[in-house]
Structure formats: C-alpha cells, structure tokens
Structure 1
Amino acid sequence: MIFVSEGLQKAYEILLIGALYLLGVLLFFCILRTIRGPRVADRILSVNMGGTMTITAITILAVILDEGYLVDISLLYAMISFLAVVVLSRIYRGVYLARKDAARRDPAEEDRESERRGQNVS
C-alpha cells in the first residue's frame, strides 16, 4: 500500500475487507436474481452485475495484497464478462425475433403456402 501511518493503514484494511464482505452478500443476491428471473433480460442484467462485482472484488484484493498482477486479471475478467454479455444478448435477441415472427404469421396462411409448394399438410 501507499506509505501512510500504521493506524490509517489498518483503517483502510478494515474498510476494504468490509467492502469485500458487502460485495459477497450482494453477489449472492445477484445469483438469486439470475436463477429466479423472471425474464431473460433480468437474468442477463444480473450476470453482468455479478461480473462487475467480481471485477471490483479482485481489484480490492489487489489493493489489500499489494499485488499488481491481480489488476491484470481483473482487466481480463472484464473483457471476458463483456463478451459473455454481448453473446447472451445476441442469442436472446435472435430467439425473441424468431418468436415474434412466428407469432405474427397466421397458421392458415402457412397451410396455403405449403399447399402451393405441393407439400402434404397434416
């Protein structure tokens, strides 16, 4: 850590460890939101929030332990978390658009189209 008095350094450690405990509790609630939903958008948002809290926890650990490589790990984790949320969002968007398109189509119209093509409709 930075060169400060011993009492101030102890106060910083207590503050940072308290922040880690708080992040742990909040991460637990994010995991609950991911499991319970109710919508897919809520789940994606909670995964993103959990990733952000994990990055913050790793960075706080880097300060407490005075290890610079942990900051590099948190940056890598941030990139991976960002890519995961982008991929999940694109998958969700594709499924949403497919459902919307299927709901918009009229089933009777699909039967007429398949008859025109010469397919057997059951």
Structure 2
Amino acid sequence: MGRGIAGLDKMYHIVFIAALIFLAVMLMLCLICAIIGPRIADRIVSVNMMGTIVMVMIAILALMQEEGYLVDICLIYAMISFLAVIVLTKVYMGVYIQKKEEEEKKNGSH
C-alpha cells in the first residue's frame, strides 16, 4: 500500500479494517464457545480456531503496516498455537482414558 492509486489504497484500508472488525467479533464468539462449550473437544476446537483467527489478524496488520517482522511473529504464533492444541488434546485424551479405565474397574468389580 502507498505505492498505487490513492483511491485503491483507501479501499484496501477499509477492507482490511472491516476484516479486522469481523475477525475480532468471531474471536469473541470463539472465546464464548471455549468457555461454555458443552464438551472438552468443543473447547479444544475453539482454542484452535482462536489461534487461527489471531494469526490472520496479525497477517492483515503486517499488510496494513508494511512491516515484515509481523509475518515472523505470525509464524512463531502459529507454532505456539499448534503446540498448545497438541498439549491440550494429549491432556484430554489422558483424562478420557483414565475415566474409562475407572468405569471399567467399577463395572468389573460389581
């Protein structure tokens, strides 16, 4: 931006701002879903979606500000978000397996 037609640059800026506002609303909805989600799997998916939305927002800000280092931050955030979802899934599976084994012990002893 800043190198092309003035009207086109203004339209890009408006589209980017609209996209950021839309993504912010979607981020809040994902946060609500992560808090009140009926199952843990729904919460994990919401956290993953929140990470993806934040990455897209950082990428849009990198385009708007014409700052290349924001793309590096976006990539680092993507790796951290991926690892967080993997850890949450691993913990969830451990809890699920433990509960299943406890139920089998209760049913087997009676």
Tell me if both proteins adopt one fold, taking TM over 0.5 as the criterion: yes
Cα RMSD for the two superposed structures: 1.5
Q: Residue 105 of structure 1 aligns to a residue in which SS? A: helix
Supply the distance in 1 between the matched residues of 2:108 and 2:79 (Cα, whole angstroms): 47
One-letter amino acid matched to 2:76: L
Residues 9-57 of structure 1, C-alpha deviations (whole Å, 9 max, x = no match) = 1100100010000000000000000110110000000000000000000
Look up the match of 2:9.
Answer: 9
Percent sequence identity over aligned pairs: 50
Look up the match of 1:61.
Answer: 61
Query: Shift of residue 3 of structure 1?
Result: 3.0
Look up the match of 1:89.
Answer: 89
**Residues 1:105 and 2:99 aligned together:** no
Query: Shift of residue 109 of structure 1?
Result: 3.2
Look up the match of 1:35.
Answer: 35
Query: Shift of residue 74 of structure 1?
Result: 0.5
Runs of 4+ with deviation above 3 angstroms? 106-110
Structure possessing the higher radius of gyration over alpha carbons: 1
Query: Shift of residue 59 of structure 1?
Result: 0.5
- The structure with the greater share of residues assigned to helix is 2
User: Gaps (5+ residues) in structure 2?
Assistant: none
Q: Residue 67 of structure 1 aligns to a residue in which SS? A: coil
* Corresponding residue pairs, total: 110
User: Gaps (5+ residues) in structure 1?
Assistant: 111-122
